[in-house]
Amino acid sequence: MDARGAAEGRTAVTLFSTDHRVIGKQYIGLALFSVLLGMLLSLVMRFHLVHPDSKVRLFQMLWPDGAPGGQMTPELYLSLMTMHGTIMVFFVLTTAPQSGFGNYFLPLQLGAKDMAFPVLNMLSFWTTALSLVTLLAAFLVEGGAPLSGWTAYPPLSGLGKITGPGQGLGQDLWIVSIALFCAASLMGAINFIVTVIELRAPGMGYFDMPLTCWGWFVTALISLFAFAVLLAGGILLLLDRSAGTSFFIPAGLVVNDQAQTRSGGSPILFQHLFWFFGHPEVYIAILPGMGLISTVLGVFSGKKVFGYKAMAIAMLAIGGLGFVVWGHHMFISGMSPYSSIAFSVLTLAVGVPSAVKTFNWLATLWGGRLRFSAAMHYALGFVSLFITGGITGLVLGQPGLDIYFHDTYFVVAHFHLIMGVAAIFAIFAGLHYWFPKMYGRFLHEGLGKLHFFLTFALVYAVFVPLHFAGFVGNPRRYPDFKEYEFLKTVLPLHIGVTHAAYTLAAVQLLFLGNYFWSKRRGAVAPANPWGADTREWSDD
Amino acid sequence: MAIAILIAALAGATVALFFQPRWWFPDAISAHARAYDSQLVITLWVVGCIFVAAQAALAWVVFRYRDRGQQPSAAAGNNTLELLWTSATAVVFLALAFAGQGIWAGVHLAGPDPAALRIETLAKQFAWTYRYAGADGVFGRVDIRQIDDASGNPFGIDSRDPKGRDDITEALLRVPAGRPVELHLKSRDVIHNFFVRELRLKQDVVPGMTIPLRFTAETPGTYEVPCSELCGLGHHQMRSSLVVLPPAEFDEWMREAQQKVAQP
């Protein structure tokens, strides 16, 4: 074999590795690519919201059909929004904390050589990658990407091109992508669950596991039940679109002046299936972060995590209760008003274990000796954002109050803070904390802290004002606000938010630069740089 | 240290924003909307106090326990504390859940009012149409094969049904002030959403279902109705208006509208 062939052979081995560390890094790489793409899409949307009549050459080059003459069409805006949400929820928030960090560190922390099923692990990564490629392909097909949002409610998503551009092949690709993602997540979930049950070090009981392992374990249990249901919902939707079935299509529709012949389906049924997955998905994104934040706060306080057992039980409670609150996404959907009352009480009940976690984090800090590493900064930022984003759940969880706020920017602000930004702060904390283990070098601490301070202030500047657009009643998923008199008042607010968003995105270059620079040139790290007592630092 | 100050500053700025008058609700125009506002204000005070207490506690422990060479405490848990804060949180959260049910029940659990003015509300991509029963007080039958937007029959009112001949079809939702109104929300294609900010009412309009929505508007005026469930590329332009008229003006308008359909 010549030198070139040997090099290609090595690449292939690394690409299709069954080593959990390689796979963990691959997932993190995929999430990093996705988060950059998702952020760029959000910048294009923020630009369009405040300059709806601007003609931009770049848009025309990127989307000749969606932006003729550089003028963005509403359908292009909606497709960017759909792709932004889908990319961020699935390929960033579900991928990095669980599949990325989890794959790398779960076996190390349990004292196992690898995950229980290494080949299945590789397969689940490559299925995820295929899913991402399938999703992005929707940009390239006729009609472009789908415009029905990451929630894809039928009949808008169930009847094909007749309901709008992007609802043809673009929507099909979206569903196939999600189905592939479900399959990959199910494989991952089985692997994580079996690893935790079977491969704990001799003598390590469940309540001896670090809280990070608890986070990944409960997340895997949630994934197993949630993604199975989403997969079923996706398949039924695909059948409605391509096989003429009518699971979600009722009788008597006249769409775009054409009478439809289907009958017998229920649009609300899809919402039940979707949110049965969709609400637990929030915890899939946040539970691994909760585990990590507990660890980081403990290590940098010089203390044990306060209330370890209560923290583990709170995670189980969140995982369990998380499955019986999905109806709070559907208070105004037309489902029985009596079920709203039950969902409301259960929703506020799931807030209790979340509050318990916050109390224990504060108690962990209490009486400690706090060392302000970059990772510690992100962990403290996480707690602050978790409070800010979580607390509005007490408003939205009341069906009576949700009536006004549903589908306004208040909800946009709520879920971006709690599910998006808080989870991403946990990812930043994880990268700073574990980088020495993953690459043998430190991420630059000073640069990390600078990035933290700017990012922390700017996410407040972006997302807190959006609540007030919600107070005005500003509906979400509008490409522009020109049609309504009452929306003229919120335009200055949106202009401010857009500028904060530009700055926030620019600040992320600090992190990217730090990441790639430190991988090669960062200060060399000792074996256990933070003085932690979990196994990943003593292994090797 | 710096982070403690920043947390306190950001929390303070967040709270301060709640005292600006510019981006807030429009004035309430019904008893329900006023009840809504008072439940919201109560909730915001509770939420605000928790928010301030939690962020202040976070900033304070970060400041207080910054590294000054002290010996970290060995405390690793306290079951009494766990029990205390779990039950305290549960009481506050569940109290909010129960307190909030009143306004929900007011909108959705009250039975139909026979004296209410019934108006059929039809949503389609991307327009709203309203149908009044006319002089006979009965809605005519509908036949979807007769739907024809161009000739002004988006409902598909059946021309063979005499009860439908006096039905009034309108692009604006006109209602009399002070009289209970019952909308029958229907969609012809995808899911839409009927939202009137001043009434604090929002309801999905779902194809295949007829969803009742009841309200009594008190203050005459014109209020915008923005579609609030993503329905396609024209979603942001699917605009309608609720026009609340003094009762005498409404009766006058109704009389004229009835005369117009009587002499085609």
pLDDT in tens, B57-108: 999 999 999 999 999 999 999 999 999 999 999 999 999 999 989 999 999 9
Helix axis angle, A337-365 to A308-321, nearest 10°: 160
Q: Where residue B120 falls among pLDDT bands split at 50, 70, 90?
A: very high
pLDDT for A493 equals 97
CB contact under 8 A, B55 and A164: no
Would an 8 Å CB–CB cutoff place B60 in contact with chain A? Answer: no
Out of A155, A368, A453, closest to residue B207 by CB: A155
Cβ-based burial of A338 (10 A; exposed 0-12, middle 13-18, buried ≥19): exposed
Instruction: Tell me the C-alpha distance between A479 and A491, whole Å.
Output: 13
- Chain A CB contacts of B200 under 8 Å are 403-404
Contact in structure between B224 and B193 (CB atoms under 8 Å):
no
Where do the DSSP E strands lie in B96-206? Answer: 117-124, 127-132, 168-170, 173-176, 181-187, 192-196, 201-205
Note the pLDDT of residue A1: 39
Residue located via tokens 């929820």: A89
Q: What is the DSSP string of B37-89?
A: HHHHHHHHHHHHHHHHHHHHHHHHHHHHTB-SSPPPP-----HHHHHHHHHHH
Residues on chain B touching A265 (C-beta within 8 angstroms): 208
- Asked if residue A411 has pLDDT above 60, the reply is yes
Of B14, B125, B190, the CB nearest to A388: B14
- Half-sphere exposure of residue A350: CA atoms within 13 angstroms, side-chain side: 24
Three-state DSSP class for residue B193: strand
Strand pairing class (B239-245; B173-176): parallel
Parallel, antiparallel, or unpaired: how do β-strands B211-215 and B181-187 relate?
Answer: antiparallel
Q: What is the arithmetic mean of pLDDT over B218-245? A: 97
User: Looking at the complex, does the CB of residue B103 fall below 8 Å from at least one CB of chain A?
Assistant: yes
Give the pLDDT band (50/70/90) at residue A229. Answer: very high
Q: pLDDT, tens digit, for every residue of A343-393?
A: 999 999 999 999 999 999 999 999 999 999 999 999 999 999 999 999 999
B226 touches chain A (CB under 8 A): yes
- Indicate yes or no: CB of A254 within 8 angstroms of CB of B25: no
CA distance linking residue A536 with residue A86, whole number of Å: 33
Q: Answer yes or no: are the C-beta atoms of A117 and A198 closer than 8 Å.
A: no
Average pLDDT of B187-194? 97
User: B188: which DSSP letter?
Assistant: S
Average pLDDT of chain A? 96
**What residue has token string 């759909």?**
A82
Determine phi and psi for A307, rounding to 5 degrees.
Answer: 65, 45
pLDDT of residue A10 exceeding 70, the answer is no
Question: Is the pLDDT score of A103 beyond 60?
Answer: yes
Which residues, in sequence order, are CB contacts of A175 under 8 Å at separation 6+?
A152, A157, A234, A237, A238, A241
A194 vs A282: CA distance, rounded Å: 23
Residue A9 pLDDT: 57
Q: What is the pLDDT of residue B110?
A: 86
Distance from CA of A19 to the nearest CA of B (A): 36
For residue A12, the model assigns a pLDDT of 66
Section A103-113 average pLDDT: 97
Cβ contact A366–B6 (<8 Å): no
* CA–CA dist A369, B58 (Å, integer): 15
Q: For residues A449 and A434, what is the distance between their CA atoms, to the nearest angstrom?
A: 16
Owner of token pair 């009412």: B201
Contact across the interface for B23 and A469, Cβ inside 8 Å: yes
Q: Are strands B181-187 and B117-124 parallel, antiparallel or unpaired?
A: parallel
Give the DSSP per-residue string, A422-475.
HHHHHHHHHHHHHHHHHHSBPPPHHHHHHHHHHHHHHHHHHHHHHHHHHHHT-B
pLDDT confidence bin for A147, thresholds 50/70/90: very high
Residue A292 carries which side chain, given as an amino acid letter? Answer: L
